[in-house]
Amino acid sequence: MRLPPVLRLVVRNFEANLDPITLLVMFGQPAFLIVILGTMFSGLISSVGSSGSYIAFLVPGMIASQMITGAVLCGRVFWLDRRWAMVEQIFSGPFLRAEYLAALLITALLFSLVGVGIMVLVALPLIGVPGLSPSELAVILATIALGSLFFGGLLIAIGGRIRSANLYFTIQSVLQYFLIFVSTVYYPVSAKTPLVLRAIVYANPLTYAANTVRDAFTHSFGPGDLVAGAVLSGLAAVAFVLAVASFNRLELGPVQ
């Protein structure tokens, strides 16, 4: 059976450009952090808000951060396709540019979900089964999907405007670490957090995603999660528009 073009591109994205070592590092690092950071800091921090132990606080954050892992992998596929002229090769074939873009975003989402699965598997022995209801699970998946769309779109928009691999991967690394560390993935925002830093944290979409996933894990959805969903949806739409605009103006040809 012949798959639709978008799915053929997705299958190809999963196989091409991504070597096992890269995938091991990308998914292994957060898993490693759950085990090491979670175990070590749990000894120092007695409880964190409604989550209880630090590791129970950390796991939902790391799950939310997988949307960035997925987006980074998707951005990597896109950039390497540009670097190795596969974008041109694909565009001169039986595919629409919209299909290629859609395939990249689906790739980001699927990688995010793979990451979520790995984090859950790693965390299960440490925090036990979270006992999520179907609606809580659906909210988590929707949050991951919106976050993947946002970060994936953002990296594609940036990757489409840059013609240097060094610059792209530098921006991607800085963005990745900035977004993860200036969010509530590793630590909560409290009244003692400096106001400027608090403002930056709440301007970061990953904060909303981490808080929503955490609320699902603690069965404590509230109005704030609706706001978070709305903010994420709006930002995802903006990032998608930026990605489309970047694609429409994509300059094909050699890149460094």
Partner 1 sequence: MPPLRTSGMRQSRGAPTRHSGRVRLPLQMEAPSTAGVGTIARPNVGPLAGLPSESAKVRDPVLEVDRLGYAYSPDRFAIRDLSFEVGRGEVFGLLGRNGAGKTTTVRVLTTLLPPTEGTASLFGKDLHLCGRTERARIGVVLQAESLDFVSVERNLTLYGFLWGVPREVAKSRAEEMLTLFELNEVRQRKPWGLSGGERRRFQVARELMHEMELLFLDEPTVGLDALTRKRILEYLAGRARKGLSIVFTTHILQEADLLCHRIGVLQGGRLRASGPPAEVKRRYRGPRTVEAGFERPLTELERTDLLALLAREGQKFRVVTFDASVLTFQAGNAEDLVAAISRWASPRDLDVDRISVREATLEEAFVNLVSDDRPADVGPRSEFA
Q: Which is nearer to partner 1, 9 or 228 (CB)?
A: 9
Interacting stretch for partner 1, rule CB under 8 A, among 14-22, 43-51, 138-146, 167-175? 14-22
**142: exposed, middle or buried (Cβ count in 10 Å: 0-12, 13-18, 19+):** middle
Q: How many residues bind partner 1 (CB under 8 A)?
A: 28
> Judged by CB, which is closer to partner 1: 59, or 106?
106
Asked if 88 is part of the footprint of partner 1 (rule: CB under 8 A), the reply reads yes
Partners of 184 in beta bridges: none
How crowded is the C-beta side of 240, counted as CA atoms within 13 Å? 17
Question: Does residue 5 touch partner 1 according to CB under 8 A?
Answer: yes
What is the nearest approach in angstroms of partner 1 to the Cβ of residue 87? 9
3-state secondary structure of 186: coil
Write down the least CB distance from residue 152 to partner 1, Å. Answer: 20
CB of 9 or CB of 108, closer to partner 1: 9
Amino acid at 32: F
Structure tokens that stand for 180 in this block: 């993860």
Nearer to partner 1, 165 or 200 (CB): 165
**What 3-state class would DSSP assign to 69?**
helix
Told to check if 227 binds partner 1 by CB under 8 A, we report: no
In whole angstroms, give the CA distance from residue 68 to residue 1. 33
Among 25, 36, 40, 91, the residue binding partner 1 under the rule CB under 8 A is: 91
Considering only 6, 17, 114, 183, the residue that binds partner 1 (CB under 8 A) is: 17
Is the Cβ–Cβ distance between 198 and 189 less than 8 Å?
Answer: yes
Q: At residue 193, what are phi and psi to the nearest 5 degrees?
A: -70, 130
- Nearest residue to 256 (alpha-carbon basis) of 164, 193, 181: 164
Residue with tokens 């929707």: 142
Q: Can you tell me which of 43, 44, 46, 93 binds partner 1, judged by CB under 8 A? A: 93
CB nearer to partner 1: give 8 or 198: 8
Our finding on whether 92 is near partner 1 (CB under 8 A) is: yes
Find out whether 106 and 112 touch, Cβ atoms under 8 Å: no
**Residues 117 and 109: beta-carbon distance below 8 Å:** no
Choose, by CB under 8 A, the member of 21, 43, 94, 223 that binds partner 1: 94
238 belongs to the binding site for partner 1 (CB under 8 A) = no
Residues lying near partner 1 in the complex (CB under 8 A) = 2-3, 5, 8-9, 11-12, 15-19, 80, 84-86, 88-96, 252-254
